[in-house]
Amino acid sequence: KEAAKIWDKNEGYVRTAYKKSPEKFPEGSIRKFGQAWVVTTKGMEAITGMKDPRKNK
């Protein structure tokens, strides 16, 4: 949820993107812990095609 919010995507964005195209995520950039998906900045940049928006501030 937090990563999706930073990239201005809906809450289920990461989960949906992974289910549709797991190959788009660089190895080791996403992992599921219980109910939560944890994704790295590198993973978000790969699936959104956008650099980390926090770096623009």
Which pLDDT tens digit goes with each residue over 1-57? 899 999 999 999 999 999 999 999 999 999 999 999 999 999 999 999 999 999 876
pLDDT score recorded for residue 55? 86
pLDDT at residue 48, as a whole number: 95
| Per-residue model confidence (pLDDT) at position 45 | 95
The pLDDT of residue 56: 72
* Both structure tokens of 36: 């939560």
Residue 14 domain boundaries: 2-52
In a domain, 57, yes or no: no
Number of domains within the chain? 1
At residue 57, the pLDDT reads: 60
**55-18-51 Cα angle (round to 5):** 15
Asked whether residue 35 is assigned to any structural domain, the reply reads yes
B/e letters for 4-21, b = 16+ CB within 10 Å, e = fewer, are: beebebeeebbbebbeee
Q: Which of these, 25, 23, 21, lies nearest to 42 by C-alpha position?
A: 25
Give residues with Cβ within 8 angstroms of 2, minimum separation 6: none
Q: Is 41 a domain residue?
A: yes
